Amino acid sequence: MADRILVINPNSSASCTSGIDAALDGFRAPGLPRIEVTQLEGGPPAVVTWRDWFGVAEPLCRLVEREAAAAYVIACVSDPGVDAVRTVTRAPVFGPLRSAVAAALARADRFGIIAFGDPSLPRQRRALQAMGVEGRLLGHIPLNLPMEVLTDPAAPRAALIAAARRIAEMGAEAVILGCAGMAFHRAAVEEACGIPVIEPCQAAVALALQAVVAAQPARVLAQAAE
């Protein structure tokens, strides 16, 4: 467990999990905590409805209780189960949406989100309200594409670029990809729309790495004192 960061896709889409894993390759390096990506077996094909969102909380808790790690990332951009999982581990638990918003606000005054679908909008708005940043959201566009289309290397690219350009035209200065299934397309979308595009799992893992690395001196001192 020592320095492992466990990234958990709460849906059962293998292509989504594979895309998340590939998006995190740049965060893997000698001397850094290792990053492992898994998925919630038996989870929904995608976290679409509130029922999906609430339904994955307990299975996520059970998985975390079985799989010790130095930090966890719940790899869905409506942050399902994050608060519940925090009750079963002392390790930090990161939600991609909240992490991505923090990354966006480090670069921009106003940002937009490309959402998975219409049902995602109220969940994401509620998270923004809880953070006190809903007023900074400028453009919230749902794609309404099936997960197997969204994770295709080519099929959703034009729709993603069109949505990002619309958000930029509205005056936003950064775009958040509002589903982990969009991870493969970040660089192409950023090049096309001309403003920073934030992939939320990358943003969450960056914070997880910081948390684990920052804790290492304290752990070494504690072990030395034993």
Domains of the chain: 4-95+208-225 (3.40.50.12500), 97-201 (3.40.50.12500)
pTM (2 decimals)?
A: 0.91
| The pLDDT value given to residue 219 | 55
The position carrying tokens 């493969």 is 184
The position carrying tokens 């307990």 is 58
| The pLDDT value given to residue 226 | 47
Instruction: Decide: 43 and 12 in contact? Cβ < 8 Å.
Output: yes
What distance in Å separates the CA atoms of residue 30 and residue 160, rounded to the nearest whole number?
34
What distance in Å separates the CA atoms of residue 124 and residue 139, rounded to the nearest whole number?
12
| The pLDDT value given to residue 220 | 44
| The pLDDT value given to residue 218 | 55
Task: Walk across the sheet containing 175-178 and list its strands.
Answer: 137-142, 111-115, 175-178, 197-198
> What's the angle, vertex CA 120, arms to CA 116 and CA 124, rounded to 5?
115
What distance in Å separates the CA atoms of residue 104 and residue 181, rounded to the nearest whole number?
19
Average pLDDT, consecutive stretches of 10 residues, N- to C-terminus, the chain (226 residues): 86 91 92 94 91 96 96 96 97 97 96 95 94 95 92 93 97 95 92 96 96 75 44
* Type and span of the H or E element at 134: none
| Cα→Cα distances 91→70, 71, 194, 201, 202, Å | 6, 5, 37, 18, 19
| The pLDDT value given to residue 130 | 93
Instruction: Decide: 36 and 4 in contact? Cβ < 8 Å.
Output: yes
